[in-house]
Amino acid sequence: NNNNNNSNNNNSKSNSKDDDDIMLSRTSSTALKAVYPDTMPQAAVGATLKWCDSARHDFLVRNGLADEEAAKRQLSGFVMRSNAVEFLVPLEEWSEKVRCEASLHIACTVARVGRTSLAFRLSMASEDGTPLARVESVVVAVDPEDITKAVVVPCADHYKELCQPDVFGSIHVQPLSRNPRPTDSYIWRTMVRKSDCDGLHHINNAIYGTLLEDARAAATRAGAIPDAAPVDCHHGFPRGALIEFLGQPHEGDALNVAVWYSEESGSFYFEFFMDDGKVVSKASLFCGDKVVTNVANFVGSSMIRPAASSKL
């Protein structure tokens, strides 16, 4: 009996240590170098999403939820459902803090756990501790044999132990347009390049951040932005972006990007669609000074899709 008691005590201590480890890992901070040479600050959305990808994979590896090699290949069993980015500093401060080879610190945690989906929340700061951006990414667990099929989140109980729904504060971005794209919206055409794709052979989620800026610049050059739009809306540093992923374009696919500007919201809206009309992504890019909406109002429980919604 004494041996059993000792064993139980040891197990209790071991479990307590494991619990402590889980508690300590609920928020994982990753230090990165800002490789940002000769790049316009308007590329901030795509760059921020790339850095957050690295931090999120680091978080998964540290918590034993993905092996390191799989994380490197971006094959951790999930595809992106949405990204919301809020920038917390103006252009001048971003340019100062996010210079070439500057150190950035990105903290990551789990914000919500659904049946087939997870929400990660990330906070990015400069090397002197200045908050730069907040990001929320919703991912969907997928079948490795068919990445268009959603499955139940693996290790869901582990993710729930790591969940901290209120950490890093609320994220505010402009919601997506609920209206159909205008018939006179500007259409920018491009093609999915090999370098746009990740290990799952579809456009990497961070590339959409760059495509938003390319499409906005093309619309500006074409004179498709209303004269009433503030100057900052033509080339200005964005305050935030929201991107929803509805399909998976692959290398060589022709991609059409509809762009239009709303004076009411001070935002650009985008619709990515294939030549057959299938919409694969919708997005908003907020550049003005109007009040924006808490991300929880539109990237919440409605984004956690049941397994029956298998087409991403």
Q: What is the DSSP pairing of strand 102-113 with strand 28-34?
A: antiparallel
H/E stretch holding 51 reads: helix 44-62
The pLDDT, as a whole number, for residue 117 is 94
In the chain the first and final C-alpha atoms are separated, in Å, by: 56
The residue among 89, 33, 48, 32 whose CA lies nearest residue 213 is: 48
Asked if residue 112 lies in contact with residue 156, where contact means CB atoms within 8 angstroms, the answer is no
Other CB atoms within 10 Å distance of the CB of residue 118: 24
Residue 137 in contact with residue 83, Cβ under 8 Å?
A: yes
Stretch 49-69: mean pLDDT = 82
- 37-65 average pLDDT score: 81
| Residue 4 three-state SS | helix
pLDDT band at 20 (very low <50, low <70, confident <90, very high): very low
Considering only residues 263 and 241, tell me which one the structure prediction assigns the higher pLDDT.
241
Q: Please state which of the ranges 15-24, 36-45, 70-79, 260-269 shows the lowest mean pLDDT.
A: 15-24
67 has pLDDT over 90: no
The two tokens of residue 93 are 């401060």
Confidence band (pLDDT; 50, 70, 90) for 262? Answer: confident
Residue 252 has a pLDDT of: 92
Which of these, 121, 125, 123, lies nearest to 93 by C-alpha position? 125
- Among residues 25, 31, 9, which one has the least CA distance to residue 101? 31
pLDDT value of position 107: 92
Indicate whether 42 pLDDT > 70. Answer: no
Q: Which two tokens stand for residue 133?
A: 């951006």
Neighbours of 87 (CB within 10 A): 25
- pLDDT 10s digits, 186-240: 999 999 999 988 887 888 899 999 999 899 889 988 988 876 665 555 557 888 9
Please tell me the predicted confidence (pLDDT) of residue 125.
Answer: 92
What is the arithmetic mean of pLDDT over 168-192? 85
Report the distance separating Cα 110 and Cα 120, nearest Å.
Answer: 5
Backbone angles phi, psi at 215, to 5 degrees: -70, -40
- In this prediction the pTM is 0.80
Residue 2 has pLDDT above 60, yes or no: no
Q: What integer is the mean pLDDT of 60-81? A: 68
